[in-house]
Amino acid sequence: MKAGQLDQRVTLERLSGGVDELGQPIESWAPLFTCWAAVEPLTGREFLAAQAAVSEVTARIRMRYRPGVLGTDRVIHGSTTYGIEAAIDLRSGNRELVLMCKAVG
């Protein structure tokens, strides 16, 4: 991966839970980290088939490898929020992480 291609800032967030003063459950998004990435909008439709579930993917986000990124996390890029459909450790080398994402909202 060439560092010059990672020219956009993204923030990964994870859903965190808790309770308010009345004991009601509340959920909010907490930032995990901000890093440089390459955000590549996909043209047309790209589908992932996994155990008979088909998801529409709207962007591919490449970044340096970070352990612990989950499919339940989300990515904020500018004013766009992406839900992570799949997190792929490219070539299983712990060097590059590719997130297949779908725009939400």
Digit-coded pLDDT (tens) for 43-53? 655 444 443 44
In angstroms, the CA 100 to CA 92 distance is 16
Helix (H) or strand (E) holding 105: none
What is the model's pLDDT at position 50?
A: 40
Q: What is the dihedral of CA 11, 12, 14, 19, to 10 degrees?
A: -10
Q: Is 75 or 3 the better-scoring residue by pLDDT?
A: 75
| Phi and psi torsions of 91, nearest 5° | 60, 15
Q: Identify the CA nearest to 58 among candidates 93, 84, 92.
A: 84
Give the chain's domains with CATH numbers. Answer: 3-104 (2.40.10.270)
Q: What is the mean pLDDT of residues 18-38?
A: 89
Q: What is the pTM of this model?
A: 0.79
